[in-house]
């Protein structure tokens, strides 16, 4: 499986609470913009290419509280709810969202060795940082929104070593020029 990290991010690198479901006072910033048909298509194609999700505990808890009751005409919610989900956690014991398995960080490399489509990671900042530092991220998809928040958790923090990436694709999305970047690990 190819491990793909997908994130909504601001120009100043904030990825915290794009949907506004947390207690962050600047949350909901992504919904100020129309990502257009191009952005919606990108997100649907990304999910369709995935055979499973890999999530950190906090992101899992947010997704598990929201997605089971969602529906849509494009099949996004059905795919989110039915696909296998792997949660990297040392504290989660009894996941309730269907098709969820709790694993350790050391198990991620074994998951990547399995045949199949993409293993998709959304949110999960601490997990993403750990995966990048261990060289386990194959692609990084960033949907960059034209806003500077000035505060909030940044996706990419300090690391012990530089992480070279190769630019694979850029494309505009939406009327406000949201930029979709795809980077592949070198």
- Beta bridge partner(s), residue 139: 4, 184
Cα separation, 49 vs 120, in Å, equals 9
Strand segments (E) across the chain? 2-10, 50-56, 85-88, 100-103, 118-122, 139-145, 165-173, 178-185
The pLDDT tens digits of the residues spanning 55-114 come to 999 999 999 999 999 988 888 899 999 999 999 999 999 999 999 999 999 999 999 999
pLDDT recorded at residue 85: 98
pLDDT at 53: 98
Q: Are 34 and 176 contacting, i.e. CB atoms less than 8 angstroms apart?
A: yes
Mean pLDDT over the full length of the chain: 91
Domains and CATH numbers, the chain: 2-173 (3.40.430.10)
Q: Would the pTM of this model clear 0.75, i.e. be above it?
A: yes
Nearest to 111 by CA among 129, 91, 138: 138
How many CB atoms neighbour CB 45 within 10 A? Answer: 10
- pLDDT at 77 (0 to 100): 92
The model's pLDDT over 107-149, given as tens digits with 9 standing for 90+, comes to 999 999 999 999 999 999 999 999 998 999 999 999 999 999 9
């Amino acid at each position: 499986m190819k491990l793909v990290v997908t994130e909504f991010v601001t120009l100043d690198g904030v990825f915290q609470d794009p949907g506004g479901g947390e207690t962050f006072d600047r949350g909901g910033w992504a919904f100020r913009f129309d990502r257009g048909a191009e952005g919606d298509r990108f997100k649907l194609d990304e999910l369709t290419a995935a055979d499973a999700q890999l999530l950190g505990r906090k992101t899992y808890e947010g997704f598990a509280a929201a997605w089971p009751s969602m529906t849509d005409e494009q099949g996004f919610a059905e795919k989110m709810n039915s696909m296998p989900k792997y949660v990297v956690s040392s504290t989660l014991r009894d996941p309730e969202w269907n098709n969820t398995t709790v694993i350790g960080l050391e198990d991620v490399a074994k998951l990547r060795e399995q045949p199949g489509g993409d293993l998709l990671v959304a949110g999960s900042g601490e997990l993403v940082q750990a995966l990048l530092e261990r060289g386990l991220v194959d692609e990084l998809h960033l949907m960059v929104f034209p806003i500077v928040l000035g505060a909030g958790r940044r996706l990419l923090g300090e690391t012990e070593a530089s992480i070279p990436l190769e630019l694979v694709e850029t494309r505009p999305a939406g009327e406000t020029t949201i930029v979709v970047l795809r980077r592949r690990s070198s």
